[in-house]
């Protein structure tokens, strides 16, 4: 058995195919364009850039820069081509979109081990080794097949609340407590607001600018069963106080009484490095989320590692069905990669494709899976999408909050990120040298 099938030639699919080919494994790569286009795509080329031409920061002391540096250690085709056709963009890695996609397409199509099939795949192939990298706008036919395979572990809309770094929360204006003291004492961080603070927040929330929806988002009734906080606020000044900002069952230790309103923050990771704004799914522009949500006293200096989003995005409930190798738990030899697994961003999708491709190749050759340390950005992302303790799983991009914390607390943010990056690259090098991950 020395052949594999990859479905989808986006960022994840091309990386997976190239990793397999690099191991001398023949690949059948299926891409539906130009036979069929998703609502967001226009070009026939692979790895098409839709939302932005930027792959974010280059410096390794940034989460995006560290991720790209780790990927380069695996000969990432995305990183290689991006560097070759970059355009000036300060500290970011930005590219000429058309040139980038053309370069990737030529590299993949010209590989002797890869056979490209320009046709739509409507069913999950039955071959022994398959990587599904169909993307977040997967066709209805194939989405139906995936849903039948995964049961209820498939979502069609991404309605995510913002997430902030734990160390950026002002605990002088917050306190730990579970409602009615149920559960563990540190399950939630509570951010109280008095009457004046609440009314000011409410007023700004009503007037905040919202992000424009794509036509295919509008058509699919995105808000059903998941109301944005700004829509809830529009229904009356006290609506949020009877919803996600209800203060019942909580006591502010500063006043000894119940707050006027409370935003609860829930742990996003077991290590408690990131917290989710409970009930704050939103369609506000990112800049408006930063401005308005920072009006809450405990979040006045908050660093957002992910902003809230609401859009069409097919993704799996990966922690229940995928392993750290991106393998489907109930079918050996079947892997998923890309945004459908719950990673968010071009390079994050590409990184998942690298790991899925490597592990598919290892499966073919009879080797154990490669699971990178959680101290690395790639390892932390693969750990996040397979962490069964994550509640209300939502897509996540690269950020330092995902990494295991340093042994010694470092207050200075820049120095902390530098140390995290250095540790990541050191641990990655040791892991690849020993191959005992």
Same domain for 303 and 187: yes
User: CA 343 to CA 407: how far, in whole Å?
Assistant: 27
Same domain for 297 and 329: no
Mind listing the pLDDT tens digit for each residue in 309-321?
776 667 899 999 9
Least confident of 67-71, 333-337, 344-348: 344-348
Interior/surface letters 298-329, b for 16+ CB within 10 angstroms, e for the rest: bbeebbbbbbbbbbbbbbbbbbebbbbbbbbe
Rounded to 10 degrees, the C-alpha dihedral 349/352/353/358 comes to 170
Range of the domain at 231: 163-307
Mind listing the pLDDT tens digit for each residue in 153-208?
666 555 678 999 999 999 999 999 988 776 555 678 999 999 999 999 999 999 99
Same domain for 328 and 252: no
Tokens of 293: 């949500």
Contact between residue 213 and residue 319 where contact means Cβ atoms under 8 Å apart:
no
- What is the average pLDDT score of the chain? 89
Q: Structure pTM?
A: 0.75
Tell me 369's DSSP state. P
Same domain for 390 and 270: no
Check whether 361 has a pLDDT greater than 90.
Answer: yes
User: What are the DSSP calls for 42-98, one per residue?
Assistant: --SSSS---S-SEEEE-STTSHHHHHHHHHHTTT-HHHHHHHHTEE--TTEEEE-HH
Least confident of 16-20, 178-182, 336-340: 178-182
CATH number of 82's domain: 3.50.50.60
Domain boundary among 286, 307, 328: 307
Tokens of 345: 């961003």
Contact between residue 237 and residue 201 where contact means Cβ atoms under 8 Å apart:
no
Contact between residue 381 and residue 348 where contact means Cβ atoms under 8 Å apart:
yes
Domain boundary among 307, 330, 356: 307
Look at residues 70, 73, 80, 72 and name the one whose alpha carbon lies nearest to residue 103: 80
Same domain for 288 and 241: yes
| Count of structural domains within the chain | 2
Mind listing the pLDDT tens digit for each residue in 394-437?
888 999 999 988 989 888 989 999 999 999 999 999 999 886 55
């Amino acid at each position: 058995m020395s052949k594999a099938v990859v479905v989808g030639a986006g960022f994840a699919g091309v990386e997976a195919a190239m990793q397999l080919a690099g191991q001398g494994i023949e690949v059948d790569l299926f891409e539906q364009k130009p036979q069929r286009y998703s609502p967001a795509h226009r070009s026939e080329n692979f790895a098409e850039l839709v939302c932005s031409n930027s792959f974010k920061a280059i410096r390794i002391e940034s989460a995006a820069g560290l991720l790209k540096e780790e990927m380069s250690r695996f000969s990432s085709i995305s990183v290689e081509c991006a560097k070759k056709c970059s355009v000036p963009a300060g500290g970011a890695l930005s590219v000429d979109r058309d040139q980038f996609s053309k370069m990737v397409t030529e590299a993949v199509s010209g590989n002797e081990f890869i056979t490209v099939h320009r046709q739509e795949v409507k069913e999950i192939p039955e071959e022994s080794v398959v990587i599904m990298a169909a993307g977040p706008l997967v066709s209805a036919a194939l989405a139906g097949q995936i849903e039948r395979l995964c049961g209820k572990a498939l979502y069609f809309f991404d309605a995510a609340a913002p997430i902030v770094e734990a160390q950026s929360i002002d605990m002088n204006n917050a306190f730990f407590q579970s409602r009615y003291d149920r559960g563990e004492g540190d399950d939630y961080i509570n951010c109280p607001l008095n009457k004046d603070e609440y009314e000011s927040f409410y007023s700004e929330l009503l007037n905040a600018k919202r992000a424009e929806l794509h036509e295919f988002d509008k058509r699919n009734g995105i808000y059903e069963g998941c109301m944005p906080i700004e829509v809830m606020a529009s229904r009356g000044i006290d609506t949020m106080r009877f919803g996600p900002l209800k203060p019942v069952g909580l006591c502010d230790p500063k006043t000894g009484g119940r707050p006027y309103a409370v935003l609860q923050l829930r742990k996003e990771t077991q290590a408690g490095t990131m917290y989710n704004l409970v009930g704050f799914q939103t369609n506000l522009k990112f800049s408006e989320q930063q401005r308005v949500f920072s009006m809450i006293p405990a979040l006045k200096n908050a660093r957002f590692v992910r902003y809230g989003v609401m859009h069409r995005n097919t993704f799996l409930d990966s922690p229940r069905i995928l392993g750290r190798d991106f393998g489907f738990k109930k079918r050996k030899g079947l892997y998923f990669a890309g945004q459908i697994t719950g990673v968010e961003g071009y390079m994050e999708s590409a990184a998942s494709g690298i790991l899925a491709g490597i592990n598919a190749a290892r499966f073919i050759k009879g080797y154990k899976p490669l699971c990178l340390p959680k101290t690395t950005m790639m390892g932390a992302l693969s750990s996040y999408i397979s962490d069964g303790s994550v509640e209300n799983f939502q897509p996540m991009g690269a950020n330092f909050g995902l990494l295991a914390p340093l042994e010694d607390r470092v207050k200075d943010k820049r120095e902390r990120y530098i140390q995290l990056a250095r540790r990541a690259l050191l641990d990655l090098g040791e892991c690849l040298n020993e191959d005992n991950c």
